[in-house]
Amino acid sequence: MTNNLRICIRRATALLGGLSLLAASAICQDNGEQGTNSRGSRAEIAITVRDVSRQVIGVPTMVKLYKNGALEDQRSTTQGRAFFIVQGLGEFTVSVEATGYKAAQKEISIAVAIQYQEDVYLERDASSGDGREAPGGAVLAPKAREAFNRGTQALKDGKLEEAQKYIGEAMKLAPANPDVLYLQAIVYMKQSNWEKAQPALEKASRMDPNQPHILAGLGMDLVNQRKFAEAIPLLEKSLRLQPTSGWETKWALAKAYYHHEQYEQALKLANQAHTESHGSSAQAELLLAQCLTVMGHYEDSAQVLREFLKSNTEGPDATTARRWLERLTTDRKIRP
């Protein structure tokens, strides 16, 4: 799951007309230089970005400053230098991304209101191609990262109580981090606490609106609350951003389509979820049968239900499948 927690930031630059506006635009697009604002009694961090040979990097670079996992400020520059005037003291994390280089980060402890000069060294990235797509996203300080990783592993191991403990620690250390918020929401969803999961996912989505897994999580949560119209655009966007996502996202969108009476789209996605789940999900099997029935493919629906009952003979899902088969027979939709 950790490898999937990648956060991509999309930036747009406005084209301004007129000489005075062009000058202002140039400042906005390359604001790594030190400004004219006085820092007064506040601390200042001066970042110089260098390569391994200690030369200042002169390519498009994004420098971000985080405190407790939340983004404080950011600067873009092509001159290898960025300046920040910080609010308050404490522990900060600087994250640097530059075209053609591997991203790096550095921890900085601000104890007094003076200027801190820090160098961040980047290594060349041989796999970066043209380097146009710069990675981005929130970072976690070491203690928060450790708690986050332990919580993630506990979730994978099915140890829900242990996961809640470590994720709670991560929330205290980085309450505004979208990855931590997402993980907290997953715990709530595993507890079927959909109403409590929703605000955490909404907050994470506002902070990082283009993350497929966050969008999918929020969409699934809304589906479980039967808020199908709200779920559809979120799940659609998640699949546009990551078409190869797991069957669960396709199942959730198929269910939302079905209840929104978009049956053709529902059947298409239900088929995909059925295929990709390899028979591991009763939800995927039963939803496909529903979609086939509503589209008039009665024999196909019956075949799905029969195959499901071969390996699922007990429980509420099996009872549902038998009832649907009986209804198809009673209504003379299928041959006895």
Domain boundaries of the chain, sorted by first residue = 2-122, 140-245, 258-336
User: Phi, psi at residue 261, to the nearest 5°?
Assistant: 60, 30
Residues 6+ apart with CB under 8 A from 29: 13, 76
Q: What pTM does this model have?
A: 0.61
Strand 104-110 relative to strand 115-122, pairing: unpaired
pLDDT in tens, 166-213: 999 999 998 888 889 999 999 999 999 999 999 999 999 998 888 899
Q: How confident is the model at residue 245 (pLDDT cuts 50, 70, 90)?
A: confident
* CATH 1.25.40.10 holds for 140-245: yes
Q: How confident is the model at residue 138 (pLDDT cuts 50, 70, 90)?
A: low
Residue 279 to residues 49, 249, 293, 299: CA-CA distances in angstroms? Answer: 52, 16, 19, 19
In the predicted model, is pLDDT for residue 297 greater than 60?
yes
Return the minimum-mean-pLDDT range out of 62-76, 126-140, 238-252. Answer: 126-140
Provide the b/e sequence for 258-286 (b: ≥16 CB within 10 Å): bbeebbebbbebbbbbbebbeeebbbbbb
DSSP state of 88: S
Q: Which of the pair, 230 or 41, is modelled with greater confidence?
A: 230
In the predicted model, is pLDDT for residue 3 greater than 90?
no
Tell me the residue type at 249: T
What residue has token string 């119209």?
229
Question: Given strand 70-77, what is the order of strands in its sheet?
Answer: 70-77, 61-67, 90-98, 104-110
How much of the chain, in percent, has pLDDT values that exceed 70? 84
The pLDDT value given to residue 127: 59
Q: Which residues is 85 bridged to in the sheet? A: 44
Return the minimum-mean-pLDDT range out of 19-23, 164-168, 266-270. Answer: 19-23
| 2-122 topology per CATH | Immunoglobulin-like (2.60.40)
Which two tokens mark 330?
């009673």
pLDDT in tens, 274-285: 999 888 889 999
Residue 91 to residues 9, 86, 108: CA-CA distances in angstroms? Answer: 24, 11, 6
Q: Do domains 140-245 and 258-336 have the same CATH topology?
A: yes
- Beta strand extents in the chain (DSSP E only): 44-51, 61-67, 70-77, 81-85, 90-98, 104-110, 115-122
Around 210, how many Cα atoms within 13 Å sit in the side-chain half-sphere?
9
Residues 6+ apart with CB under 8 A from 243: none
As a whole number, the mean pLDDT across the chain is: 82
| 258-336 topology per CATH | 1.25.40
Strand 115-122 relative to strand 81-85, pairing: unpaired
The pLDDT value given to residue 22: 25
Residue 238 to residues 213, 232, 242: CA-CA distances in angstroms? Answer: 7, 10, 6
Tell me how far apart the alpha carbons of residues 194 and 191 are, in angstroms, rounded to a whole number.
Answer: 8
Q: Which of the pair, 299 or 144, is modelled with greater confidence?
A: 299
pLDDT in tens, 22-76: 222 222 333 444 433 445 578 899 999 998 878 888 878 899 999 887 888 888 8
